[in-house]
Amino acid sequence: MSGGGALGFAHIGVLQALEDLNIFPDEISGASMGSLIGTFYAIGYTPSQMLKLIKEEKLFKITKLMSFKPNFWKTGFVNHSLISNLIKELYPSNNTEKLKKMMHICVSNITTAEWEIINDTNNIGLAVSASCSIPGIFNSVAINKNQYVDGGVLNNMPSQPLTKNCDI
């Protein structure tokens, strides 16, 4: 699933269309907004449940950039905690071990200037926050002494992890 900001909500329709055809992916890979929608699907949310979250405005909280408080020592205007807190609220275990589907979260490592896949973590909220951290808007996210931003910066369509187990 690719990035694309609010346009990434279209992935919910794609997931619904796949389910209508009795196609249920075992693995999901996503960058930026695709990582957020993919993670909710991997947690076990159905497309209709995700639409309900949108209507309740839980997912729209992420796109509300209300806290523009310039701090020249930061890499963005908005803290990434909105995303990680939402995931913790809706998925308290917050780790990849209990996901119903394998999730590959694409992030851009600005320390090494390479994209990476995170699929084994005890803090999935932090990984998705990193993948959604649009440079200049959201602060970068520190994970294991590296700084990460939006996965779509270096790989907006992270299909590579899926080819290993692809069954077509």
CATH number at residue 142: 3.40.1090.10
For the chain, the domain total comes to: 1
Q: How far is Cα 39 from Cα 48, in angstroms, rounded to an integer? A: 15
Residue 144 lies in a domain: yes
Q: How far is Cα 64 from Cα 79, in angstroms, rounded to an integer? A: 12
**What pLDDT score was predicted for residue 62?**
52
Domain that holds residue 56: 5-162
Residue 98 lies in a domain: yes
What is the model's pTM? 0.87
Interval 101-155: pLDDT, tens: 999 999 999 999 999 999 998 999 999 999 999 998 888 999 999 999 999 999 9
Alpha carbon 69 to its chain centroid, in Å, reads: 24
What does the block give as tokens for 17? Answer: 């269309």
